[in-house]
């Protein structure tokens, strides 16, 4: 029977991977992928705790909210990136230093 710990360790690894992806990539969409990793790590944590009796259903419900937020975030971020791309013809975020659209 699986305990809580393996899930938490996996979640930690996913979190670190997400942070590493955000740091290493300069492509806006790749960074968005990193953000998704972090969010999924968090949601996994929540569900694992909920599974093991901490806070009953709150964990699952919170994970549901994480998914909703991730969807909203991805949509807006992609719209911004598309705008960004239309404006300066690249998704390299280092190029976005003009502070104007």
Check if the beta carbon of residue 31 is closer than 8 Å to that of residue 7: no
Shortest distance, position 42 Cβ to other proteins, whole Å: 11
Shortest distance, position 17 Cβ to other proteins, whole Å: 3
Shortest distance, position 77 Cβ to other proteins, whole Å: 9
Shortest distance, position 38 Cβ to other proteins, whole Å: 11
Q: Within a 13 Å sphere around the CA of 83, how many CA atoms are in the beta-carbon half? A: 8
Identify the CA nearest to 75 among candidates 32, 37, 21, 34.
32
CB atoms within 10 A of CB 97: 7
| Sign of the alpha-carbon dihedral angle for 87, 88, 94, 99 | negative
Nearer to other proteins, 51 or 97 (CB): 51
């Amino acid at each position: 029977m699986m305990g809580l710990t393996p899930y938490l360790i996996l979640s930690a690894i996913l979190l670190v991977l997400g942070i590493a992806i955000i740091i290493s990539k300069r492509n806006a969409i790749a960074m968005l992928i990193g953000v998704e990793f972090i969010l999924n790590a968090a949601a996994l944590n929540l569900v694992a705790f909920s599974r093991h009796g901490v806070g009953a259903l709150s964990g699952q419900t919170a994970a549901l909210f994480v998914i909703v937020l991730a969807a909203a975030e991805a949509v807006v971020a992609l719209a911004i990136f598309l705008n960004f791309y239309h404006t300066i013809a690249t998704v390299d975020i280092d190029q976005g230093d003009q502070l104007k659209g």
